[in-house]
Structure 1
Amino acid sequence: MAIGSVMLEPYGREGLPLGQARTQILAAIKPLSGSEILPLMQALGRTTAAPVIASAAVPGFRASIMDGYAIAGAAEPEPGALWCLVGVSAAGAPHGAALRPGEAVRILTGAVVPEGSDRVLPQELVAAKGDQLELTKPCGPNAWIRQPQEEAAPGQELVAAGQRIGVADLGRLASCGVQQLALTRRPRLGLLISGDELLPPGVQRGPGQIWESNSALLRALLQRLGYDVADQRVVVDQPEQLRLALQELAAGCDVVVSTGGVSAGDSDWIRQLVEELGQVKFWKLFLKPGRPFAWGQVAGVPFFGLPGNPVAAAITALQLLWPALQRLEGAELQLLPRLKVQLEQPMRRGSGRPELARAQLVVTAAGDLWARVGGSQASSRIGSLQGADLLLEIPAEMGALEAGTELWAQLLRLPVF
């Protein structure tokens, strides 16, 4: 389609609902081919290309859970029972001989439980005098022994293929002797920021100019989600320069992301250029913020045209770009967890479009969950994202909301482990 020609409107006046848009995008995205082998400590946040299998039992021996004494036999003894101390079993230095009836050894946490013993007595329950050990208190049924396959059995799947490696995964894999992992390839992102009015932060502004913030906001968001931008361009609203930038980004990246230029203004060239170089599969979301969003492909590479307003760009990136990047990486899809909250104070709004409003999570002393909405929800106001824990899901038909209104919310917190 030539620049300046009239575009048809096959997308509907209001745009696609968010869930429908996500479904359409994910159906079109295929995982990238290829994998790489990396050391374990470089795998945090990456996605496994193959299942990780335990090569041996872990810990591989019966280990004491407590500091105490390993006694011969398995029966639960009564207070007053006596044993003869015949040695010590420490971590890394086991007692080499099997215990015979009436014998016991001093044992430390993590040490090998000797053969002939099926019970460890915690040290606070016994009294040791010389080579004599006496049970002074009831010991109860717990044997305080960790079994050889407690953490893993030989051949057990530790991590499935397509799983994103977390902190706990790293710890468990290390405990099972895993040194390196086969990981899927991360998508290379190309970021295009367009606008005649944009200046780098720190440069003196002229009339009508603003400091460019979308690249900082989006790159930081993507880094928090585990992705880096491989190539970035900030380009004025001139079609030839924008066309060249789109072509070069598509040639060197696995996905192209733009902000601005996909609406219907006189200087919004991006959507028309994508139609020329590839295809716009849908345009406009039935969502606030985020209506001017475009999805398609440039030279066969997935394209995401985010809105120009920074909050709208961040919200649509989280809702639509992030799931697509997970699919490209071959990861099991993870969306933000949802919970029900109540509004702490009234909220003014007009009905018409579903909204994702930014809010802070407040947990009362009684354990009730409240959402605190502070300040303007304008899509240009990055301050509405500061300190936000929640994206409140406000249905299109809801107008002004009273305090105490119950809503679903997306939790903006990443897991620790």
Structure 2
Amino acid sequence: MTDSNKPSDCCMDATDSSISASDALKVIAANTQPVQGGEAIPLRNALGRVLAQPIHSPINVPAYRNSAMDGYALFGKDIPAAGTCRLKVVGSAFAGQPYQGELNRGECIRIMTGAKVPQAADTVIMQEWVEREGDEAIIDNRSKPGANVRQAGEDIQVDSIVLQPGDEIGPAQLGLLASLGIPEVKVYRRVRVAFFSSGDEIRSIGQPLEEGQIYDSNRYTLFGMLSELGADVIDMGVIADEAEAIRDAMLQAASEADLVLTSGGISVGEADFIAENIHQLGTVHFSKVAIKPGRPLTFAHIGDACFFGLPGNPVAVMITFLQFARPAIRRLQGKQEQLTPTLRVKAGSPLRKLPGRTEYQRGILSLDEGGELVVNSSGRQGSGVLSSMSRGNCLICLSDESGDIRPGDLVDVQPFDLLRH
């Protein structure tokens, strides 16, 4: 059941047993821990996964002293104090093809970027600063001894820790691990999330709509957001508004998943069986948060499974998921603690806001004519208006104490692209 027949957010008293958004996040953090168990997987399959153990480098990086540019390798003591001098060019070195001879004072070799620097040499002079005449190189005093040589282990030393448990493996981390020759890594297992919708007015896509019925959009937005987070999703469909059916679904979900999500049916009403059952089956940590939209938000545990009872209205589902369920899932995944990234930008349009609770309004972040970031409202802000969520590219976060916003006022903004992982 959706909350469309309940009093609107603007009519609710935010002080009535509601906790603040910041306190809700603290409660969530205190009651979620990384899932138990990990698996070793090939490096190529590790993108987006979370490390379960530290990675120690098995080698130095670079593995040997090498040239930082194309030029000539030589003894730093051969650089003249003034004027120029001539050095005999006795060979060359390329990446993967080191110079095999012995280098002496008064000699140099032609060397390419990444090539091994001969043991006796300590300096590389860039080729633009060298004049070549036959088998001689003419150098001046512009270079300093030790220039342009990368030392072994300069980037990473053998046995040093390069990645920590909780680090997420992105493309850069894949490349780093590959550069160390590491073929597989141990990661946390994927977090299992079960979710369902409830309500006699809800119909799945493909079914005909009768009077008073709506299509279930919430399961699709939840599926999308969960997939972006890399969770294993268990879609249990639409559950009828019957106390026993809801109870059975909640118990089944909690037995199969690390986290259970429901949408709708969490307010106090005659047919709000999710709210009724969660108090019987689990431990409720909080059931109201002083936010708009999404005040009737429940966080609880059913056995070992975390539970979030999200509101029924589509926008409220997305916002409460992003602000509260997403941090919980990140903690279950074992990811490093990370504050939700925000930008401080100018408002380009007036925003209506009453003090007393945190509001998340949909906005469009763009550059103004002067090249500065500015945010404007993306349209109507009702908790059932998905079109303004679809048009928007960010959330405008207005604090408890904030009132109406005028154009030019600074506001906090969370771009959607930064909320997807």
Common fold by TM > 0.5: yes
> Would you say 1:330 and 2:334 are equivalent positions?
yes
Structure 1 residues 86 and 365, CA, compared in 2 at 3 Å: closer, same or farther? farther
> Helix, strand or coil: the match of 1:158?
strand
Q: Displacement, 1:41?
A: 2.2
> Following the alignment from structure 2 to structure 1, what is the Cα–Cα distance between the partners of residues 141 and 219?
67
Taking every aligned residue pair, what percent have the same amino acid on both sides? 37
Distance 1:228-1:378 versus aligned 2 partners, 3 A rule: farther
Measure how far apart 1:152 and its partner are: 0.7
Partner of 1:145: 149
Q: What residue in structure 2 maps to residue 19 of structure 1?
A: 22
In 1, Cα distance between equivalents of 2:84 and 2:367: 52
- Deviations, residues 187-217 of structure 1 (Å, cap 9, x unaligned): 2111111122222334432222222111111
Checking the alignment, whether the CA contact within 8 Å between 2:217 and 2:314 is kept in structure 1 is yes
Question: Does the CA contact (< 8 Å) of 2:75 and 2:105 recur in 1?
Answer: yes
Displacement after TM superposition at 1:137 (Å): 8.6
5 Å-filtered alignment, 1:24-173, equals: 24-74=27-77, 76-77=79-80, 80-135=84-139, 138-139=142-143, 143-173=147-177
8 Å contact 1:45–1:166 — kept in the other structure? Answer: yes
CA apart distance, 1:139: 3.9
Conservation of the 8 A alpha-carbon contact between 1:125 and 1:137: no
| Structure 2 residue matching 1:414: 3-state secondary structure | helix
Counterparts in 2 of 1:94 and 1:81: CA distance versus 1, 3 Å: same
Letter of the structure 2 residue corresponding to residue 102 of structure 1: G
Contact preservation (8 Å) 1:167, 1:416: no
2-structure distance, mates of 1:118, 1:412: 50
Give the equivalent residue in structure 1 for 2:4. none
Give the secondary structure class of the aligned counterpart of 1:327.
helix
Residue among 231, 255, 270 paired with 2:274 = 270
Contact 2:190 2:230 survives alignment (8 Å): no
Return the alpha-carbon distance in structure 2 between the equivalents of residues 110 and 117 of structure 1: 15
Change (3 A) 1:415 1:338: closer
| Preserved CA contact (<8 Å) 1:292 1:307 | yes
Contact 1:360 / 1:373 at 8 angstroms: preserved in 2? yes
Aligned-partner residue type, residue 190 of structure 2: R
Q: Which moved more, 1:393-402 or 1:152-161?
A: 393-402
Following the alignment from structure 1 to structure 2, what is the Cα–Cα distance between the partners of residues 248 and 33?
20
Structure 2: distance between partners of 1:276 and 1:260: 18
> 1:412 pairs with 403, 416, 421, which one?
416
The residue aligned with 2:223 is 219
Shift of 1:21: 1.0
Is the 8 Å Cα contact of residues 74 and 117 (structure 1) preserved in structure 2? no
Amino acid at match of 2:349: Q
Is the partner of 1:117 in helix, strand or coil? coil
Does 352-361 or 62-71 show the bigger shift?
352-361
- Decide whether aligned partners of structure 1 residues 76 and 265 sit closer, same or farther in structure 2, where only a CA change above 3 A counts: farther
Please, what TM-score do these two structures have when normalized by structure 2? 0.89
Distance in 1 between residues matched to 2:215 and 2:79, nearest whole Å:
75
Deviation at 1:141, TM superposition (A): 6.6
Secondary structure of the residue aligned to 2:122 is strand
Out of 395, 400, 405, the position equivalent to 1:401 is 405
For residue 366 of structure 2, what is the aligned residue in structure 1?
A: 362
Distance 1:341 1:89, change over 3 A: same
Retained in 1: the 8 A contact 2:78–2:106?
A: no
The CA deviation string for residues 13-50 of structure 1, in whole angstroms up to 9 with x for no partner, is: 25111111111122122322211111122222222111
Structure 1 pair 29–61 and aligned structure 2 pair: CA distance change class (3 A):
same
Q: What does the per-residue CA deviation read over 1:68-126, in whole Å, with 9 as the maximum and x for residues that have no partner?
A: 22123355445532121111111111001231112111111111011221111222222
Q: Displacement, 1:179?
A: 1.6
The answer (yes or no) to whether the contact 1:194–1:261 under 8 Å persists in 2 is: yes
Distance 1:193 1:187 in 2: 20
Tell me which residue corresponds to 1:8: none
Structure 2 CA distance for partners of 1:346 and 1:76, relative to 1, 3 Å: farther
**Residue correspondence of structure 1 range 286-301 to structure 2 within 5 A:** 286-301=290-305
Cα distance between partner residues in 2 of 1:21 and 1:415: 18
1:348 aligns with 2:352: yes
Partner Cα distance (2:20, 2:420) in 1: 31
Structure 2 residue identity aligned to 1:42: N
Matched residue, 2:5:
none
Return 5+ residue gaps in structure 1 as ranges.
Answer: 1-10
Alpha-carbon shift at residue 306 of structure 1 (Å): 0.8
- CA deviations on 1:214-254 (whole Å, 9 max, x unpaired) are 11111111222232313433212222221111111111111
Q: Contact (CA 8 Å) 1:261, 1:308: kept in 2 or not?
A: yes
Describe the shift of the 1:360–1:262 C-alpha distance in structure 2 as closer, same or farther (beyond 3 A).
same
Q: 1:205 aligns with which of 181, 191, 209?
A: 209
Whole-angstrom distance in 2 between the partners of 1:211 and 1:125: 72
Contact 1:233 1:245 in 2 (8 A): no
Residue of 237, 248, 253 corresponding to 1:244 = 248
Give the C-alpha shift of residue 295 in structure 1. Answer: 1.2
Q: Which residue number corresponds to residue 190 of structure 2? A: 186
Moved more, 109-118 or 401-410: 401-410
RMSD between superposed Cα atoms in Å? 2.4
Moved more, 298-307 or 56-65: 298-307
2: CA distance, partners of 1:312 / 1:396: 17
8 Å CA contact retained: 1:127, 1:136: no
Deviates more, 1:41-50 or 1:67-76: 67-76
